[in-house]
Homo-oligomer: A and B are copies of this chain.
Amino acid sequence: MEQKLARLKTLLAEVVDLNAAAALLGWDQQTYMPAGGTEARGNQLGTIQSISHIKFTSDEVGKLLDDLVKETAGLDPDSDDARLVKVTARDYEKASRIPPEFVAEFALITTRAHEAWTEARAKSEFPIFRPHLEKIVEMGKQFISFFPAADHPYDILLDQFEPGMKTAEVKGIFEALRPRQVELLRAITSRPQVDDAFLHLDYPEKEQWDFGVDVVTRFGYDWKRGRQDKAVHPFTTNFSINDVRITTRFEPGSGVSALFSTMHEAGHAMYEQGINLAYERSPLAGGGSLAIHESQSRMWENLVGRSLPFWEHFYPRFKELFPSQLGNVDLKSFYKGINKVNPSFIRVEADEATYNMHIMLRLELEMAVTESKVMVKDLPELWNSKMEEFLGIIPPNNAKGVLQDVHWSSGLMGYFSTYALGNLVSAQLWEKISQDIPDLPDQIRQGRFDSLLHWLHEKVHLHGRKYEPQELVQKITGSKIDAAPYLRYLQGKFGEIYGL
């Protein structure tokens, strides 16, 4: 067994290296690559991903896994080796269904699609992106066809990001959530609106950048093992547990969007930086699922970064940096301003009370195109009509509508729900944290985040991909993913802000 395990680890390390190289090709593409590099980049990603795929799905890996699944049966099922075999066998079962040619073609197509999306978004012209999106949807259907029929075809897409989660389950959670969130939203909009005009002034980029860097340094993001760059759509990526990079973007006329984006991405990044170093170059390095990942980013962005204790500590410095913008704005007004509930167009800038609506919209659209109930060409219109239905507003252009997110251009279909699930998990963990660290608000008020990061490190980060998401949440909180804590959190926070 020892020898087989060692051999498996050697083979997997090579695959991890290839995936890291592909991740760097992707990072570069979204940060620094000149436009001329697009075609070649597609080929490079195609080649690397296809070699990685071939190596991972090799007969040798399959045979080793077959043997090791049996031979590790006697081990502690929670031991690293037993879990490595279990997780890898799950990945293998999925990956071996996908033909290498599909992987290479998908890489090529998404590289071109990403470039087209960037242009389409800049010009707000959907037709530039449309043929690429059509190909991606087509390939999504082809992807589904490689798997045995599921309850819903969309299950196959979802399962890539949220292992074990079913479409019906997610829809169930969303359907329970939506009326309560709509009810809260109605109550809020019946109250006098808070003023956040001071946030929509010209805030110099350099000060924003520096403040964001300071904040996430205090959170505990390790710059010796990371860096921040600008990207059209902020993301976190990593090439090692010791090289985890974040990106941010500046929105003209916004004083905090880059800041919250930095906090959000740092939340993802501290997760990756916190994984057991023993998992380096193995499939156990990485997040438990995208919802678990998002629970970390949303926690640092919202439960910490949009909290009153946080700003009790940081607001004096922030105000000093932007005296002309914030000279007349006191802490309470600022706090209300950054938590203003207002149906708006851009998901990543949505407030906590409306955010999930954006997700539900995307879920409906993705399910519809996957089932061929809607054509890609009709998405802009459908997007706008759903926006009106869900949030009562219509985007003025496609850049603020159907073109706003990078995900589809990267071939990510089935991904969005994990954002909403992440919100739920963040609140669920937070209730547990609040029991374990009762004086956390005081610590945050003093600008101290070490206990919080330590808790997350021990309970969540260290484990990497060892546990499935529901398993991990159960292990930590005693129950599966549950919407109640998030609703309690929203009601408490916005009840106080809007005097409900």
Contacts and interface: CB of A to CB of B under 8 A. Distances in A.
Most buried by B among A43, A44, A239: A44
Interface in A223-260: 223-227, 229, 239-240, 242-243, 245
How many copies of this chain sit in the oligomeric assembly?
Answer: 2
A242 B39 contact: yes
A37 B222 contact: no
A40 B24 contact: no
Given A24-B25, A40-B20, A48-B21, A35 B280 contact: no
Contacts of A240: 36-37, 39-41
B32 A242 contact: no
A32 B227 contact: yes
A74 to B, nearest CB: 31
Contacts of A296: none
Most buried by B among A34, A41, A48, A222: A34
Contacts of A47: 13-14, 17-18, 21
A280 B51 contact: no
B223 A37 contact: no
A240 B35 CA distance: 12
A59 interface: no
A110 to B, nearest CB: 16
Contact of A24 (B24, B35, B229): B24
Given A24-B28, A25-B21, A28-B24, A44 B239 contact: yes
A122 interface: no
- Interface residue range, chain A: 35 or more
Nearest to A31: B32
B25 A28 contact: no
B43 A281 contact: yes
Contacts of A24: 21, 24-25, 28, 44
Contacts of A245: 34
A33 interface: yes
A14 B52 CA distance: 13
Interface in A270-310: 280-281
A226 B32 CA distance: 10
A227 B48 contact: no
A35 B245 CA distance: 12
B225 A40 contact: no
Interface string A37-77: 10111011011100100000000000000000000000000
Contact of A242 (B37, B226, B242): B37
Contacts of A224: 34-36
B20 A44 contact: yes
Interface string A117-153: 0000000000000000000000000000000000000
Contacts of A222: 36
26 contacts: A13-B43, A17-B47, A18-B47, A18-B48, A21-B24, A21-B25, A21-B44, A24-B28, A33-B243, A34-B225, A35-B224, A35-B225, A36-B222, A36-B224, A37-B225, A37-B240, A37-B242, A37-B243, A39-B240, A40-B240, A40-B242, A40-B243, A40-B280, A40-B281, A41-B240, A43-B281
Given A21-B25, A24-B24, A34-B226, 18 more contacts: A17-B43, A17-B44, A17-B48, A18-B47, A18-B51, A21-B44, A24-B44, A33-B243, A34-B223, A34-B224, A34-B225, A34-B242, A36-B222, A36-B225, A37-B242, A37-B243, A40-B243, A41-B240
